[in-house]
Amino acid sequence: MNDQPEDVGLAFIDSCDGMALLMIHGFPFSSAMWEPQVEDLGSITRVVAPDLRGHGRSQPMPGDYSVEMLADDCMGLLDFLAISGPVVVCGMSMGGYVALEFFRQFPEMVAGLILTSTRALPDTAEAKANRDKMAKKAQTEGVSAIAADMLPKLLSPKTYEEDEEVVEFVQEMMEWTSVEGVVGALAAMRDRPDSTPTLAEIDVPTLVIHGADDQIVPLAEAEAMAKAIGAKMVVIPDAGHVPNLEQIDAFNDAVTDFLMTLQDTHDHHHH
């Protein structure tokens, strides 16, 4: 019998049927930073964590990057994975700048936002000059010199002194980054737009997570950002700029609660 079988409308279970969570790493990190989240949250959501261009195992692309380009890369990945429905976008530090840009470019693709260790304000003139200095240093002394400079500032004093495993993990992850990735990303951060006007436009549920001991983005700035959005704010004690690795349980609990609340509202709208 070679007649075409008729199309049958089959019901099915797909373990990835939940809303996807796009997790965008910071500078100069990679998707590896989200390992404990992939492990713990993977059962309640589909975690998609790209290595941004020049970072992790992604291609080292030369030239200046922009947050527009990085947001576009993320959208390209969702297209490639055939994820057409809106996703929750979680960005850490530089990833937060990319997440805000992603919201500006593809608002219909954002079901919720999680902003971690990030800020809305653009670089000051002094910060811009420091980006350029850092880029030169990466080119002359290599990425390990950048990693060494950043490491003590990235973590809370408690983590830095007591958690050797996290310190080593973060250092190795940074050292993996290509020189092109470091230089390109520094330009993207230097030239990023002021996201303050965007905050009032954010009309999706938003969670701001911040380490109490963040030495890079002052807590007060994150609180002001959360207030401007009308976001839920979770401050994590004994965590610096990398709360998802410094206090894994507290971070994952905050994200899980947020996803569950979102899922509830999402289900009510659809039934």
The angle, 0 to 180 degrees and rounded to 10, between the axes of the packed helices 67-80 and 179-190 is 120
Q: What is the pLDDT of residues 85-123, one digit of tens each?
A: 899 999 999 999 999 999 999 999 999 999 999 999 999
Q: Could you give the number of structural domains in the chain?
A: 1
CATH assignment at residue 148: 3.40.50.1820
Select from 123, 113, 105 the least CA-distant residue to 27.
Answer: 123
**Has residue 6 been placed in a domain?**
no
**Has residue 106 been placed in a domain?**
yes
**Has residue 241 been placed in a domain?**
yes
Select from 23, 37, 19 the least CA-distant residue to 87.
Answer: 19
**Has residue 94 been placed in a domain?**
yes
Model confidence at 8, pLDDT cuts 50, 70, 90, reads confident
pTM for this prediction: 0.93
**Has residue 130 been placed in a domain?**
yes
In the predicted model, what is the mean pLDDT of the chain? 94
**Has residue 1 been placed in a domain?**
no
**Has residue 217 been placed in a domain?**
yes
- pLDDT at residue 271, rounded to an integer: 42
Query: Residue 147 pLDDT more than 60?
Result: yes
**Has residue 8 been placed in a domain?**
no
Query: Residue 17 pLDDT more than 80?
Result: no
Q: Which domain holds residue 121?
A: 20-270
Task: Report the C-alpha gap between 52 and 128 in whole angstroms.
Answer: 21
For residue 86, give every residue at least 6 positions away whose Cβ sits within 8 Å of its Cβ, in sequence order, or none.
19, 108, 109, 110, 111
- pLDDT at residue 6, rounded to an integer: 73
- pLDDT at residue 144, rounded to an integer: 98
Arithmetic mean of pLDDT, 193-221? 98
